[in-house]
Structure 1
Amino acid sequence: MEIRILTTDTPPWELLLLGDESPDSVADYIDRGQCYAAVAEDRTVGVCMVIRTHPFTVEIVNLAVDPAFQRRGIGTELLFHALRKAREEGCRRVEIATADVEPGPLALYRSFGFEPVEIDRDYFPKYYPAPIIEAGQECRDLVRLRMEL
């Protein structure tokens, strides 16, 4: 399967909502960042949304892959692409966050060299109107991770 990573001005909402279940949250950053789309079999199967948070820092605010295409390296390719672009743009730090109950994303981010720097306790109950369930557990805490480039 060939995967192409493209920059898009029209990120697919359905994929963004896989990575962030709050339409209000997605609406807040969708026009403030750069979206990279993974295309396979002539359709968009993954997204990575990156925003600039400080002069030399970007945050990956959304990384999602269509469930039918997961575990095929698409998320890894998107992450590699986002990090390469950040370096090319002169960034020195990349941040990312995920729920503490999601072992897959945490393991992926750690494998790239991201290190946990903060746990935001009860983040999801505070900021999301309905409980979010991942890996059979309710998401409560948000783990923030950081990588120096």
Structure 2
Amino acid sequence: MYLPRMMSSAENMIIQLLEGQDALPYDLLLLADPSREMIDTYISDSRVYLARIGEVRVGVYVLTPLDGKKAEVKNIAVHENWQGRGLGKQLLTDAAIKARELGFETLVIGTGNSSVAQLYLYQRSGFEITAIRKDFFVQHYPEPIYENGIPCKHMIMLEKQL
């Protein structure tokens, strides 16, 4: 599908909080978390932000309060057709801004040991590795997960001070 150049970058992206009556964008959420059941365990305690370019839904992130002054990005995804255009970085920046506005001091994000591109993006965005949750994906997901030809077994946790 051809899209005009002016609609191809993060500059034209609008990110909005989903309201209670809005349907959850499971098609996007499942890009980052392959288990709808797992998504349903954290979604009710979270704020879901949907990104659009024009009328096209291009991305999503989920912001969840943790104990104290920490919030976690539990899910962040960009539709496959829109990847590689800086939208993920913009979603991450927006999550940090929203978390700071909500009074949080630290933003946490986790990703699989096999999520090479995500680890690169998060570290380039100022996140630092703080922990590894050994066998997280083996224990919490019924089917094995593979990314980049690597078994996804461990959750790499990163944090950024806001």
Q: Given the two structures, how large is their TM-score scaled by the length of structure 1?
A: 0.95
Q: Which ranges in structure 1 are unaligned for 5 or more consecutive residues?
A: none
Secondary structure of the corresponding residue to residue 75 of structure 1: helix
Identity of aligned residues (%): 35
Tell me the distance in 1 between the aligned counterparts of 2:138 and 2:102: 35
C-alpha deviation, 1:49, in angstroms: 0.3
Which residue does 1:3 correspond to in 2?
A: 13
Report the RMSD for the aligned CA atoms in angstroms: 1.1
Give CA-to-partner distance per residue, 1:69-123, whole Å, 9 cap, x none: 1111111111111100111111111100001111110011101111111111111
Write the mapping of 1:27-106 to structure 2, written as runs, cut at 5 A: 27-106=40-119
Secondary structure, aligned partner of 1:44 = strand
Question: Does residue 118 of structure 1 match 2:131?
Answer: yes
Distance in 2, matches of 1:70 and 1:91, equals 28
**Which runs of no fewer than 5 residues in structure 2 stay unpaired?**
1-6
Residue 55 of structure 1, CA deviation: 2.9
Q: Is the 8 A contact 1:11 1:47 kept in 2?
A: no
> 2:104 aligns to what SS in structure 1?
coil
| In structure 2, C-alpha distance between the alignment counterparts of 1:15 and 1:98, rounded to whole Å | 16
Q: For 1:90 and 1:32, how far apart are their aligned partners in 2?
A: 16
Runs (4 or more) in structure 1 with deviation over 2 Å come to none
2:34 — aligned with what?
21
Q: CA deviation at 1:39?
A: 0.2
CA contact (8 A) 1:132 1:139 kept: yes
Equivalent of residue 154 in structure 2, options 128, 138, 141: 141
TM-score in terms of structure 2 length: 0.88
CA offset at residue 26 of structure 1? 0.3
Q: Number of residue pairs matched?
A: 149
CA distance in 1, matches of 2:43, 2:92: 18
The structure that has the greater radius of gyration is: 2
Instruction: Find the aligned partners of 2:24 and 2:91 in 1 and give their Cα distance.
Output: 14
